Amino acid sequence: MKDDLYSPDPILAQESLEDWVMTKCEDWRDNYQSNYEEKFDEYYRLWRGIWDPADTERKSERSRIISPALQQAVESNVAEMEEATFGRGKWFDISDDVNDKDSEDVQYLRNKLTEDFENTKVRKAVAECLINAAVFGTGVGEIVLEEIKEMAPATEPMMDGQLQAVGVNITDRVVVKLKPVMPQNFLIDPIATSIDDAMGVAIDEFVSPHLVEQLQEQGVYRDVYVGTAASDTNLEPDQDISVYSDDKVRLTKYYGLVPKHMLEDALDDEDEDLGTSDDSSSYVEAIVVIANGGVLLKAEANPYMMQDRPIVAFPWDVVPSMFWGRGVCEKGYNSQKALDTELRARIDALSLTIHPMLAIDATKFPRGAKPEIRPGKTILTNGDPREVLQPFNFGQVGQITFAQAASLQQMVQQATGAVDSAGLSGAVNGEATAAGISMSLGAIIKRHKRTLINFQQSFLIPFVKKAAYRYMQFDPENYPVKDYKFNATSTLGIIAREYEVTQLVQLLQTMKQDSPIYPVLIQSIIDNMNLSNREELIASMQKAQQPNPQAQQAAQATQQAQLAFQESQTAALAAQAAESQARAQKYTVEAQLAPQELEIEKIEAITRNIKEGDADDKAFKQRLEIANVALKEKQVNNQGNQRNANDTTRPKEPNQPSQRSVQGSVQPPRENRGAPRGPRGPNVGPTPQGTQGPSEGPQSL
């Protein structure tokens, strides 16, 4: 049941592989011719400045002038993309695995790829693809493998080293080249939106017969008779020039899916294996080369290890669900046509207004005379010349056409995003102010960046990947097989770089020269300039910013001395603070001990020189009262001293009388020398009447 379901069509079973491929290619060409060929031809003529009768807008139009506005827009946009991609020399980068600590292999691969790309002129081919994308909307390139002989001068010793033979060393190796493809030479499945989504793609072009013969000798193509092809103007790069119809072969190279049984039938004669592992699929990825529409030169399964197609393409601007993009010529087409019509109408009007003309009365003009005007010509008339001849013109050309032409040119620039130096000040947005120019340039730079990202992701990075994989497969000695990640290294374009330099200069004017950001801004400005010695200037600035070892040591010594001086000052201040704190503690202790000392002095003052008897008792009471008064006065003085000790800002008060003055002020009463003495000493005074006498005994304290 499965065999019946997937059995090939009997009609297809009888069809050969080359017939199947050519049928597909013819259908795809019909679709291209009916939808795109006429428009692309007109875009090409507008870009080249070639006039064609089909480009006229009026039947009475005589002028053939074509404005260069669209040409300038194409060249400006392409130059911006080239500068952004190749302006700094390094236009791609390779990153290794994170776990791989050795980066020498990545650096070697990057340098080797850069060297091979320079030898095969990849930059020139990429620039041509950019021009095709700007004019037609899509840039297409074919990745071609070519076996070359590398020659290097060398010397070889002879006769035991006595002589040296000078010659060359020849090495056979495989190189990868990029070949730009014009849109009329490229065929793709009309439903597809990209190279990988299409059933297949084909390159249909004329080549020289010797190229086919050389590949036949190398065994790349089958050794069959090819012959020459008939001329076809649809495949020529420029369809307005004379076609060379001799000695050329129409070569059709198909890359894509083909029926598996057809490829097997085509390989039966060569005894080759398909080399595919998927046996359940009815289609297989293959490469088929056909000459002159029917001679099979090559048929094989895809030989590349990544099973990719050797075609890269990108649209200038993406058109949703379409393979063909929108280029610069399509953007500015309507404005360019209106500008050309305005200029041609003005030139035609000038031909009627500036050239001298005469109105002649035919009844008074001699028969057979030529009615023409030139300097020194004699005109015969039958009557008064003032009545027969009358100068005549069709009026004057309106001056408004100048303003209209300028406005249309601004429309072309607005549509394409191209700005020239003449129209930068006022034609960008109609205002010549710095803010207006800055805003307009910002919008233009964003449009360029959008196209740049599209170019990198769709064309540049896929090309670098496919080229590296082919070098790994066919030249493993120079290119080790590893898994690398490729990145595009792009910079700002010319307009964006000048715009950024202007902003950096304005920012630089707001800073002082001693600011740490000042040299960084200077380096950024130099880095964005297109100077021949840019790297030398940046290296000199970086070297100047590095500190001098001797000056650095002197600065360190000065800093250490300053730190030591600050530490000594801090220690002195700390010692003074400690001394003040100790003094305050001393005053606090003395204040706490003062009441006890007063009690002791009070007791000493009271008990000093006290004898037994009534007089001593009276004297004791008197001393006790005096001591209490002195004690209270001392306490008040001590409290004042304590407040003064705590408040260092108050002036010192005079010292209060000491305790000795209190003791000195308490004098015993005079003795009555004639009075009798009691048992404890002399009496203070005579015994008052009515009081207790000495017989009653001494009184206790």
Does residue 409 belong to any structural domain of this protein?
A: no
Total number of domains in the chain: 1
| pLDDT interval class at 131 (50, 70, 90) | very high
Higher pLDDT, 651 or 176: 176
Judged against a pLDDT cut of 80, whether residue 530 lies above it is answered with no
Q: Which domain holds residue 616?
A: 552-668
> Using one digit for the tens of pLDDT, what is the confidence trace for 296-345?
999 999 999 889 999 999 999 999 999 999 999 999 999 999 998 888 88
Alpha helix segments (H runs only) across 509-548 = 518-528, 534-545
Q: For residue 66, give the nearest of 428, 329, 432, 366 by alpha carbon.
A: 329
Q: How far apart are CA 652 and CA 546, in angstroms?
A: 63
Question: Are 291 and 255 contacting, i.e. CB atoms less than 8 angstroms apart?
Answer: no
| pLDDT interval class at 543 (50, 70, 90) | confident
The pLDDT value recorded for residue 690 is: 43
Q: For residue 167, give the nearest of 157, 150, 159, 155 by alpha carbon.
A: 155
| Helix orientation angle between 104-119 and 122-136, rounded to the nearest 10 degrees | 70
Of the listed ranges 186-200, 236-250, 646-660, the least confidently predicted one is 646-660
Q: How far apart are CA 221 and CA 214, in angstroms?
A: 9
User: Which residues sit opposite 487 in a β-bridge?
Assistant: 93
Does residue 389 belong to any structural domain of this protein?
A: no
Judged against a pLDDT cut of 80, whether residue 441 lies above it is answered with no
Of the listed ranges 255-269, 378-392, 494-508, 678-692, the least confidently predicted one is 678-692
pLDDT, mean of residues 12-38: 88
The pLDDT value recorded for residue 348 is: 83
Does residue 65 belong to any structural domain of this protein?
A: no
DSSP 316: S
pLDDT, mean of residues 542-554: 74
Please spell the DSSP secondary structure of 390-422, one letter per residue.
EEE------THHHHHHHHHHHHHHHHHT---ST
Does residue 569 belong to any structural domain of this protein?
A: yes
Alpha helix segments (H runs only) across 417-460 = 434-455
**Residue 320: which region, alpha, beta or left (left: phi > 0; alpha: psi -120 to 50)?**
beta
Q: 186-189, long-range: CB within 8 Å, 24+ apart, which pairs?
A: 186/140, 187/25, 187/28, 187/29, 187/32, 188/28, 188/323, 189/28
The pLDDT value recorded for residue 655 is: 46
- Range ranked top by mean pLDDT from 29-43, 394-408, 575-589: 29-43
The pLDDT value recorded for residue 643 is: 62
Q: HSE of 44 in the Cβ direction (CA atoms, 13 Å)?
A: 15
Judged against a pLDDT cut of 50, whether residue 120 lies above it is answered with yes
Judged against a pLDDT cut of 50, whether residue 672 lies above it is answered with no
Question: Are 233 and 193 contacting, i.e. CB atoms less than 8 angstroms apart?
Answer: no
Please spell the DSSP secondary structure of 465-506, one letter per residue.
HHHHHHHHHH-TTTS-----EEEE-----HHHHHHHHHHHHH
Q: How far apart are CA 648 and CA 292, in angstroms?
A: 117
| pLDDT interval class at 488 (50, 70, 90) | low
Judged against a pLDDT cut of 60, whether residue 429 lies above it is answered with no
Q: For residue 424, give the nearest of 413, 412, 408 by alpha carbon.
A: 413
Q: How far apart are CA 412 and CA 406, in angstroms?
A: 10
Judged against a pLDDT cut of 50, whether residue 701 lies above it is answered with no
Torsion of CA 219, 222, 226, 232, to 10 degrees: -90
The pLDDT value recorded for residue 300 is: 92
Higher pLDDT, 294 or 241: 294
Q: Between vectors from CA 49 to CA 67 and to CA 248, what angle results, nearest 5°?
A: 170
Of the listed ranges 126-130, 223-227, 415-419, the least confidently predicted one is 415-419
Judged against a pLDDT cut of 80, whether residue 141 lies above it is answered with yes
**Phi, psi dihedral angles at 334 (to 5 degrees):** -65, -45
pLDDT, mean of residues 138-157: 89
Does residue 230 belong to any structural domain of this protein?
A: no
Judged against a pLDDT cut of 70, whether residue 644 lies above it is answered with no
Does residue 480 belong to any structural domain of this protein?
A: no
Residues 6+ apart with CB under 8 A from 275: 301, 303
The pLDDT value recorded for residue 489 is: 60
| pLDDT interval class at 255 (50, 70, 90) | very high
> pTM surpassing 0.85?
no
Q: How far apart are CA 538 and CA 377, in angstroms?
A: 74
Alpha helix segments (H runs only) across 33-65 = 38-48
Amino acid (1-letter code) at residue 292: N
The pLDDT value recorded for residue 615 is: 62
Question: Are 24 and 273 contacting, i.e. CB atoms less than 8 angstroms apart?
Answer: no
Judged against a pLDDT cut of 90, whether residue 234 lies above it is answered with no
Q: How far apart are CA 385 and CA 363, in angstroms?
A: 13
The pLDDT value recorded for residue 654 is: 46
What are the C-alpha distances in Å from 111 to residues 91, 93, 483? 12, 10, 17
Does residue 414 belong to any structural domain of this protein?
A: no
The pLDDT value recorded for residue 686 is: 44
Does residue 499 belong to any structural domain of this protein?
A: no
The pLDDT value recorded for residue 443 is: 60
Question: Are 185 and 235 contacting, i.e. CB atoms less than 8 angstroms apart?
Answer: yes
The pLDDT value recorded for residue 243 is: 66
Judged against a pLDDT cut of 70, whether residue 129 lies above it is answered with yes
Residues 6+ apart with CB under 8 A from 684: 613, 614, 615, 616, 618, 619, 669, 672
Average pLDDT of the residues of the chain:
77
> Using one digit for the tens of pLDDT, what is the confidence trace for 584-641?
888 888 888 777 777 777 777 666 665 555 565 666 667 677 777 777 777 777 676 6
